Amino acid sequence: MSYVMKLSKTMARLCVIVSIALPVTVIMVWFSNFWEPQSQIATMLHLSEINMIQRFLGITASSLFPAVLVFGLLNLRWTFLEASHARYFSEKAVSSFRTFAWSVFFAIPTRIIEGAMVSVITSWHLGEGNRQLSIGIGTPELASLFLAFLFVAIAHIWAEGQKYAEDSEQII
């Protein structure tokens, strides 16, 4: 087994671990005030002031970005699994990577929407004038979008490469 195959196998496992860890982390964040009331995230989300409905709505809203990312990661896992069996240019490997790339791309606007929803959820118990809807688009979002676009471009180049690989396979 080559080192690339071994690495791919490890990466496939890592994708599963992260896919499980992401939703768990979201839930933990929204209940973090129970074991760390003074934490930065608990203060930022007003966790000691919000009720359970707000908390569950917050978890739902905060799950949007991880859900898209988990979907992408589970697809990326297939790319790694295919690579771990030396099928680097299989249709499954290429199409899974393309789905991952598009997931990362769509995850960025999802994160912006998620941020806006969380700002509403965590502030609606406040008095009039203090409720907020904040939409944040900054350098990190634009950088992520650029990175996601690179992934999408690479995925499409790879898909073209797959056609040549298929062709090459028919040459004995």
Smallest distance, another protein to C-beta of residue 163, A: 13
Smallest distance, another protein to C-beta of residue 172, A: 5
- Buried/exposed code over 132-154 (b: 16+ C-beta within 10 A; e: otherwise): eeeeeeeeeeeeebeebeebbee
User: To which residue do tokens 């490997």 refer?
Assistant: 93
Q: Residue 86, interface with another protein (CB under 8 A)?
A: no
Of 165, 105, 95, 3, the closest CA to residue 11 belongs to 3
Task: Give 40 or 168: the residue with its C-beta nearer to another protein.
Answer: 168
Q: Residue 171, interface with another protein (CB under 8 A)?
A: yes
Judge contact between 80 and 19, C-beta under 8 A.
no
The site that binds another protein (CB under 8 A) totals a number of residues, namely 4
Residues 139-168 that bind another protein (CB under 8 A): 167
Smallest distance, another protein to C-beta of residue 83, A: 21
Task: Give 128 or 167: the residue with its C-beta nearer to another protein.
Answer: 167
Phi-psi region of 46 (alpha: psi -120 to 50; beta: other; left: phi over 0): left
Q: Give the tokens for residue 123.
A: 């502030």
Smallest distance, another protein to C-beta of residue 170, A: 4
Q: Residue 172, interface with another protein (CB under 8 A)?
A: yes
The burial class, CB within 10 Å (0-12 / 13-18 / 19+), for 33 is: buried
The burial class, CB within 10 Å (0-12 / 13-18 / 19+), for 6 is: exposed
Task: Give 31 or 164: the residue with its C-beta nearer to another protein.
Answer: 164
Smallest distance, another protein to C-beta of residue 164, A: 12
- Residues of this chain that bind another protein (CB under 8 A): 167, 170-172
